[in-house]
Structure 1
Amino acid sequence: MFHRGPAFTAVTALLTAVLCTGATAAATTELSGTIAIPCAAGVLEQDTAWYLPDGEPTGLIWLQHGFARTNANVAALATAFAEAGYLVFAPSLPFMNFSGCTLQNLGDNTAFLRNVTALFGGAGDATGPLAASLADAARRAQRPAPALPTDLVFVGHSAGAEAVLFVADLLRALHPETWTALRGLVLLDPVRSFIGDNIDRALISLDATQLPVLSISAPPSACNSLGLGTLAVRSRLHRPFVGVELQAGAHTDAEGESSDLLGELMCGTPSAVNATAVRTLALAWTHDYMTGTNTSDYYPATAGAPIAAAPTARVLTGS
């Protein structure tokens, strides 16, 4: 099982100091709620967790779990984002549905992902589904709901990485007003669906834009479909730096202490070192996306050079 040891605590404290200008970790609030997403002729009411920072949020993070997982499995990462000042939207999306309304493409989930895209297309509407979900969750907890921030970053793990890629591309095509507010994507050990070409289509399209897309991957294994998602990122993005591969990493590293027995039995036990590396890089890249900065420790100085913040990680380049 995953345990917080002294090394984990020390590194997390250092990260907080770097990203939060010397402050200790801020208090956060987790709100439980639902989100209404159209599915075929009906509507799904999906469980959703909202993570509120202490104070006004500086951006909105969509954090999407992986195949056959739930938002509980990314709770530790969601809390880290909220402690860094972001409002986090973490829905649980289906992995089995006879109408094709699934996170991963098990037939044709593109219509469902179009409906997920519409959630963000209406993010600026105070009466839209995202705002309504947050307001309802806050009302249940008897506390005020913050306004939804304008700036967005999408973060997806496993099949969730393919989903955030596809939704980002749909935003570009269908909701240009929200597309301009999308600051970047962070892909956590992306997994390509066995059916369809969602990930390839999205990457090819996004490659022609200036949107930052970076990944943190584990070595190829059965749980990440032998690294085919990372291979798609490397082959479809024509950029000198597309992410890193963690040495001796497990597919569950992004889940950290939020993983569970099933995840560990199927996909390996996350290590404190790698879980911390995932959070360090994901938070640092998100900070740079949101602020338009480029913090040198989190990128290679030259093509193929190691990253100071993760010196043992293998740097990944595009084609």
Structure 2
Amino acid sequence: MGEWHPDILGDGFEQQTLPLGSDTEGEVVATLVRSRPHPGARLFGELRETDVLYVHGWSDYFFQADLARFFTDRGARFCALDLRKYGRSLRPGQTPGYVAALDVYDADIEAALDAMGTKSAGRRLLLLGHSTGGLTLTLWAARHPGVADALVLNSPWLELQLGPLGRQALAPIVNARARFDPLGTHPVVDLGFYTRAQRELGTLPDGPEGWRPAQGFPTHPGWLAAIIAGHARVASGVDVGCPTLVLLSARSTVTLGWSDAMRETDSVLVVDDIARAATRIARTVTISRIEGAVHDVFLSAPAARAAAFDALGSWVGRIA
């Protein structure tokens, strides 16, 4: 087992580096962050036999301490994974967030589960993914039936913003460029509105430089081809094999200019398309639309954030 060290989140949080070998850019690691359980809840909480593994979204890392406390207060062991080339796992000279296939993350997730010791201890596993992390965990659970006991998706990126027809039209172009220029540049499409909304709401802390840039990481053809391939697999129908909760904003605001509505809507994804795609990932899917929520529902204004936690708490209570 690896060693645990103090984490940047401070008291109650520790981190462990998970070696994953190397690639053309050098050493590759993932980082597991754990939150110490509440002693009383560990004995009596409804999730005392459950381990939670959280995976972040694009241009992101784990910093949602309130989300960790939600689970530890109910007795769960909570861990979060900074995937390779993100946040705590990003090393100098690496292309931030880049992979050419989403199943590359199998190694990151397996290393995290080994470090957690979930199945060897006979504990239940709840997977929790946000945005791109939600897509990654959906596909991982479908490829590893019987491992996860529950899946919670926070605004999962299950469909391209152009919709199914736009994705199908774009795919051949992206795939062709990915073959010849996988690390080529794309025009900047993130105008920083989502970051602005969170800063105005006061829900985005100041993290280490470069871990969460205001306009996101640069994107590349190889990475976009991997995302589109993941969307196509979801569209064809997959089965994660466990009860699933999908949390979404009630509405989207996707425009080329700032709008005050972005403080209470999803300004990243088209949530109606995501809700439709979510019906194709499991036999039992609960979709909860949160009025006033932003893209990360747990970083919304207080009323919407409370509603998201209430929806999560009610669902967890039913499946515990």
TM-score bucket (shorter structure): 0.5 to 0.7
Match of 2:292 in 1: 248
Shift of 1:148: 5.2
- Residue 233 (1) aligns with residue 278 (2): yes
Question: How many residues matched?
Answer: 216
Relative to the length of structure 1, the TM-score reads 0.57
Match of 2:307 in 1: 277
Deviation per CA, 1:269-305, whole angstroms, max 9, x where unpaired?
x21111112222223323433x3xxxxxxxxxxxxxx
CA–CA separation in structure 2 for the residues paired with 1:224 and 1:231 = 16
CA–CA separation in structure 1 for the residues paired with 2:122 and 2:306 = 27
CA–CA separation in structure 2 for the residues paired with 1:91 and 1:77 = 14
CA contact (8 A) 1:65 1:158 kept: yes
CA contact (8 A) 1:153 1:286 kept: no
Shift of 1:101: 8.6
CA contact (8 A) 1:156 1:186 kept: yes
Residue identity in the other structure for 1:80? F
Task: Identify the match of residue 318 of structure 2 among 265, 283, 288.
Answer: 288
Shift of 1:249: 1.9
Shift of 1:163: 1.4
Shift of 1:166: 1.5
Match of 1:47 in 2: 31
Change (3 A) 1:253 1:108: same
Change (3 A) 1:275 1:118: same
Deviation per CA, 1:88-132, whole angstroms, max 9, x where unpaired?
111222358998894xxx662334222134336xx4xxxx4445x
Q: Which runs of 5+ in 2 are unaligned?
A: 1-10, 161-223, 255-266
CA RMSD of aligned residues (A): 3.3
Percent same amino acid at aligned positions?
15
Shift of 1:46: 3.1
CA–CA separation in structure 1 for the residues paired with 2:152 and 2:136 = 12
Q: Which runs of 5+ in 1 are unaligned?
A: 1-27, 135-146, 173-178, 257-269, 292-319
CA–CA separation in structure 1 for the residues paired with 2:285 and 2:143 = 24
Shift of 1:199: 4.2
CA–CA separation in structure 2 for the residues paired with 1:101 and 1:36 = 17
- Residue 68 (1) aligns with residue 59 (2): yes
Change (3 A) 1:65 1:202: same
Residue identity in the other structure for 1:119? A
CA–CA separation in structure 2 for the residues paired with 1:29 and 1:113 = 27
Shift of 1:156: 0.8
Change (3 A) 1:166 1:116: farther
CA–CA separation in structure 1 for the residues paired with 2:282 and 2:32 = 35
Shift of 1:198: 1.4
Deviation per CA, 1:132-171, whole angstroms, max 9, x where unpaired?
xx9xxxxxxxxxxxx8552101111111111111221222
CA–CA separation in structure 2 for the residues paired with 1:184 and 1:248 = 26
Task: Identify the match of residue 106 of structure 2 among 85, 91, 114.
Answer: 114
CA–CA separation in structure 2 for the residues paired with 1:113 and 1:211 = 20
Helix, strand or coil at the partner of 1:248 = coil
Shift of 1:252: 3.2
CA–CA separation in structure 1 for the residues paired with 2:62 and 2:22 = 20
CA–CA separation in structure 1 for the residues paired with 2:156 and 2:142 = 16
Match of 1:92 in 2: 82
CA–CA separation in structure 2 for the residues paired with 1:211 and 1:203 = 18
Deviation per CA, 1:241-291, whole angstroms, max 9, x where unpaired?
53021123211322x3xxxxxxxxxxxxx21111112222223323433x3
CA contact (8 A) 1:60 1:148 kept: no
Match of 1:154 in 2: 127
